[in-house]
Amino acid sequence: MQCTKAYAMIVPPIGAVIVAVILALMSLSLSSCNRQAGQELQKRRKIVAISPQAKAVNITHQYFCQIHAQRHIRVCPQVKGYLAEILVKPGQAVKKGDLMFKVMPSHYQAKLDAMMADAKLAELELNDAKEQNGGKPVSQNELATRETKLAKAKAQVAAVLDLATVEAPFDGIVERLLHPQGSLVEKGETLTTLSDNAQMRVYFHVSEARYLAYMADLKKHQEDLQIELLLSNGKKFDPTGRIAAIDAGFNKETGNIGFRADFPNPAGRLRHGQTGQVLVHMVLRDALVIPQRATFAILHKRYVYVVDNQHVAHQREIVIQHELDDIFVIKSGLDLNDRIVLEGIRLVSDGDRVYDDVKE
């Protein structure tokens, strides 16, 4: 009996144990609810929603380019012979028709001397006939025949001399001389090159995606297009240029298409063979933009959380038209009436109810 009484004194009644357990569970449940309420409150404080904006946006694309003269040719003799005279210097500006070289065709020398003698003889005969015609011994037909003979002789001499001289075909800048005076040069061999630098042609290549975007934007914003040239020293060239031509097709190996921009070069600063960067500026008016931090990526696609009228966040895919420093220009997926999560985006899941502060 003594043992039984001792055991009864140690073990509490079963009802008291059940009550204690229930109280403990309630305490845990309340604690969990408090934590959830605190987290929900924390979410509400951090989530901020905004609406997309329509504004003018400056878009700039930069491309490596090569600078060419609008005309750049090889200057060559028309006959084989000795380079008798060089009348130009490297870097010299010449005008159309200026004499640059004289080539003496050795196998034409005797023929040239004979032609010049024939021309002199024809001139003497004509003068003698004119003097005799005063006494009426020579007919008008004979005078005409001798005049024709003289003209033919002079034309033959001029043709040979023309082959022996090299003139500038247009205004330009003479480049390096490739042969010293006295050299034997072949017909068609390059003596120098001549560049017409009054206007420069700047060539660059554009990817297919950029080309499509450019053509789409050009229809709406052609008046806002500006082309600039950035030189290798980091300074911009003045004046600005214009897009003058686009190749007919894409390069199969690179997937790019060639563009050409023309720049006036009144001061002659640009020379054939230079390189630089072409800057293509375009102003997109009423472009729909959002901050980049309001988006997130999943498998190379971009999404935002759009908050509806019932404060429920929905994940939505968007298509980016242009990417700038801190904003995206939206091509599709949003409009001005939407509200998207800006701050607290990591705290939101698709279908969550959010209570946000609207930030304009």
- Residue 79 near residue 188 (C-beta atoms within 8 A): no
Phi first, then psi, for residue 157 (nearest 5°) are -65, -45
State residue 34's pLDDT score: 54
State residue 111's pLDDT score: 63
Half-sphere exposure in the Cβ direction for 200 (13 Å, CA): 29
State residue 94's pLDDT score: 96
Sign of CA dihedral 250, 234, 281, 325: positive
State residue 142's pLDDT score: 62
3-state secondary structure of 227: strand
Strand partners, 304: 316
Half-sphere exposure in the Cβ direction for 322 (13 Å, CA): 22
Listed as ranges, residues in the chain with pLDDT below 50 are 1-11, 41-45
- Residue 288 near residue 330 (C-beta atoms within 8 A): yes
CA 8/CA 149 separation, integer angstroms: 157
State residue 50's pLDDT score: 92
CA 112/CA 19 separation, integer angstroms: 134
3-state secondary structure of 5: helix
Its pTM stands at 0.68
| Residue 114 one-letter amino acid | A
